[in-house]
Amino acid sequence: MASVRVAVRVRPLSQREKDRSAKTIIQIDGHTTTLFKKKDICLSGEPSGKLGKSFRFDFSYDSMDITNPNCVTQDKVFEDLGIEVLQAAFEGYNASVFAYGQTGSGKSYTMMGSPSNYGLTPRISGGLFDHIDGESQKGKTSFQMEIRERFPLESHRGGRTDCSVLMRRPLWQLDSSDGYSLSRHKVQSFTQVNQLLLEGNSRRATAFTAMNHVSSRSHAIFTIHFKKAMFDAELPSETVSKVHLIDLAGSERADASTTAGMRLKEGANINRSLVTLGIIISSLADLSVCSGMRKPSFIPYRDSVLTWLLKDSLGGNSKTIMIATISPADVNYSETLSTLRFANRAKNIVNKPTVNEDCNVKIIRELRAEIGCLKALLSVGSLVS
């Protein structure tokens, strides 16, 4: 059993927020993130009194001032979160990282980064290949990696795609007519992975909104299938793990993003899939907090393509990390509070991660171990007689 780990990251004020003379209303103290209302901020810019709403998370990252030596960098985020994902994959566990927050709050920067400062997705991919290179030199170990990029297109189709389609056919047979786009590739180097990331991002639907000049209008799920086989004559093993790296489209209010027409419809549909995600997180959180209550007969994973794809990551067989990205500006108070409350619910979810070992290899290893024990007992018996 493992609870979903939650991190909150606060970005710097954007130029748009500075132009609006926005005040910083976020304060980070250790693991605690506190949100204040604008009226609680003194002329000096510091909070007056203790009137804010405080939330405690596994990690609270202050990236508001890049000139501050204590500013949390991409390196620090990878050190805290990415290394944990790599370790899980090496041991045969599934792992998931997903970024949630309003449009323009830093989700894509945290997950993808920039060409000069990589985010979690390229760093985790590179870390896997570093591990492969190191282990391969020792011999007796082989690795296979396959990349799958998924783009649920609910933002264009209304979020009500019939998920029974997904369960009748293998995922790689689905296409955009199903409200879904998928590509899969076997990879042998980080260079190949990085190229796929660039191509995948170019296929994501984007549009200009007041919140973000290049706003993602679709979710993106980057999945690494990682197989590790140990060639040991006595105790062979083979594990298969999945690593989901997810950049969700931005949650937003229509009036805040000043969208209209097609963009307004897209925003409504994005929010609909995120509402379904919120319902599932609330249901699972209630189930975990009230462990004595009877398990609900229905968790609505099938209500959207997004949540059906994430069903293992939430309440299932996975070690999961959620990164909530927020703006420090008072003009985004409502969206920031909503994100913090969403993250606060998510940390109560309990998953059930297990090592994904090939059952045939496991049986062979256990039988060999049992044969070894029986031989030892026979040897002891013959000596006694």
* Positive or negative: CA dihedral 224, 266, 199, 104: negative
Annotated binding-site residue? 104 = yes
Nearest Cα residue to 13 out of 147, 129, 106 = 106
Annotated binding-site residue? 102 = yes
Rounded distance, CA 149 to CA 16, Å? Answer: 32
Annotated binding-site residue? 107 = yes
User: E strands, the chain, where?
Assistant: 2-3, 5-10, 26-29, 32-35, 53-56, 59-62, 95-101, 113-114, 117-118, 141-152, 180-186, 206-207, 215-216, 220-230, 237-247, 319-326, 350-351
Annotated binding-site residue? 295 = no
CA distances (Å), origin 126, targets 7, 100, 120, 227, 348: 22, 23, 10, 16, 31
CB 58 within 8 A of CB 365: no
Annotated binding-site residue? 108 = yes
Annotated binding-site residue? 73 = no
φ and ψ of 104, to 5 deg: 80, 15
Q: Write out the DSSP string of 324-349.
A: EEE--BGGGHHHHHHHHHHHHHHTT-
Annotated binding-site residue? 101 = yes
Q: Write out the DSSP string of 253-291.
A: -HHHHT--HHHHHHHHHHHHHHHHHHHHHHHHHHHHHTT
Structural element, H or E, at residue 197? helix 190-203
Q: Write out the binding residues for ATP.
A: 101-108
| Binding-site residue set | 101-108
